[in-house]
Amino acid sequence: MNISLANLQAQEKITWCPGCGNYGILMAVKKALVALNRPSYETCLVTGVGCSGKFNHFVKTYSFESLHGRSLPVASGICLANHELNVVAVGGDGDGYGIGLNHFLHTMRRNLNFTYIVHNNQIYGLTTGQYSPTTAKGTISASSPFGALEEPVNPIKLALASNAASFVARGFAGDIKQLTNLVTQAMQHRGFSFIDVLQPCVTFNKINTYEFFKKRVYKLEDDKSYDKTNKKQAEERCLEWDKRIATGVYFQADLPIYEDALPALATTPLVKQDIKNIDISASCEEFV
């Protein structure tokens, strides 16, 4: 079967603002799925709430639209029910680094085998421009008229500090070619793959614009001295921001995945196992 962009085109009309960085992420994910050349029914997209929460409406695959900040536990459940699927969780910086931050940490700790893509526009776009967990300190927004008080979350540093994340990357929505390559690598990686995507919100974030990022981003893969298996180097690069911002794979390691520790998954996915001869009547009598 040959998968094409046309095969992945859903019928729903895209409702993001013109120029939104989400378009670049959407195209990169579609191009990555074409590169993998797997039937669309073998992929399941899981989203949270926010502008990124409509992502699965625009790709013709299986999908699940979860609650705010809850895409990772849902994706974990789907992955464990059928670990042969290509599971991709999608969220925003408010969704994933705010209410969903605890799930982010525990999913990395477990190293489940699926991909997590965060649309990081450093603002709450859907709810008209309140500051988010990644908004720079001092930023004036709809909810911080005197400037944001908190230091922003550094998602790359957080992922590296977990000591369990096995694929940590950052992309830029304005560079679809590199982002497509990163998403493809993430989907092929065996373990939890995390990509933080710099995604300009053209409506509410007038600071972190395409121009802001184009002046600062550089590719780690172009730096011959960079070793993506060296966590110390990754930790140093993830602190850059004001003048330079690294994109690419910060860190990658071959670590045991959660599914390998579950004997029930050793032969076949849970959804394909024969349960005809299993009697649950005693449990039903006790709990129902």
Give the tens place of pLDDT for each residue, 258-271.
999 999 999 999 99
pLDDT at position 6 is: 86
Q: How far apart are CA 52 and CA 95, in angstroms?
A: 9
* Higher pLDDT among residues 78 and 2, named by residue: 78
Q: How far apart are CA 103 and CA 40, in angstroms?
A: 27
pLDDT at position 234 is: 98
Q: How far apart are CA 255 and CA 244, in angstroms?
A: 30
Count of CB atoms situated within 10 Å of the CB of 255? 14
Count of CB atoms situated within 10 Å of the CB of 18? 7
- Span 132-142, average pLDDT: 95
Q: Is the predicted pLDDT of residue 62 greater than 90, yes or no? A: yes
pLDDT at position 209 is: 97
Q: How far apart are CA 238 and CA 246, in angstroms?
A: 7
| Proportion of the chain above pLDDT 70, given as a percent | 100
Confidence tier at 224 by pLDDT (50, 70, 90): very high
Lowest mean pLDDT, pick from 96-100, 133-137, 162-166, 196-200: 162-166
Helix 71-81 to helix 101-110 angle (10° resolution) is 30
Strands 245-252 and 193-198: unpaired
Burial class (CB in 10 A: 0-12, 13-18, 19+), 13: exposed
Q: Is the predicted pLDDT of residue 2 greater than 90, yes or no? A: no
Question: Residue written as tokens 């299993």?
Answer: 278
Q: How far apart are CA 250 and CA 154, in angstroms?
A: 13
* Higher pLDDT among residues 195 and 11, named by residue: 195
| Proportion of the chain above pLDDT 90, given as a percent | 92
The string over 165-203, giving b where at least 16 C-beta atoms fall within 10 Å of a residue's C-beta and e elsewhere, is: bbbbbbbbbbbbebbbbbbbbbbebebbbbbbbbbbbbb
Count of CB atoms situated within 10 Å of the CB of 51? 24
- Span 149-176, average pLDDT: 95
pLDDT at position 114 is: 98
Q: How far apart are CA 195 and CA 90, in angstroms?
A: 10
pLDDT at position 206 is: 95
Quick check: 166 and 254 in contact, CB under 8 A?
A: yes
Class of domain 6-263: alpha beta
pLDDT at position 162 is: 87
Average pLDDT of the residues of the chain: 95
Q: Is the predicted pLDDT of residue 227 greater than 90, yes or no? A: yes
What's the pLDDT tens digit per position in 236-249? Answer: 999 999 999 999 99
Confidence tier at 1 by pLDDT (50, 70, 90): low
Q: How far apart are CA 261 and CA 135, in angstroms?
A: 38
Pick from 92, 84, 89: which is nearest to 116 by CA? 89
- Span 120-145, average pLDDT: 94
- Span 65-87, average pLDDT: 96
List, in order, residues 6 or more apart from 26 with CB less than 8 Å away: 14, 55, 58, 59
Cα distances from 223 to residues 247, 257, 267, in angstroms, run 11, 30, 42
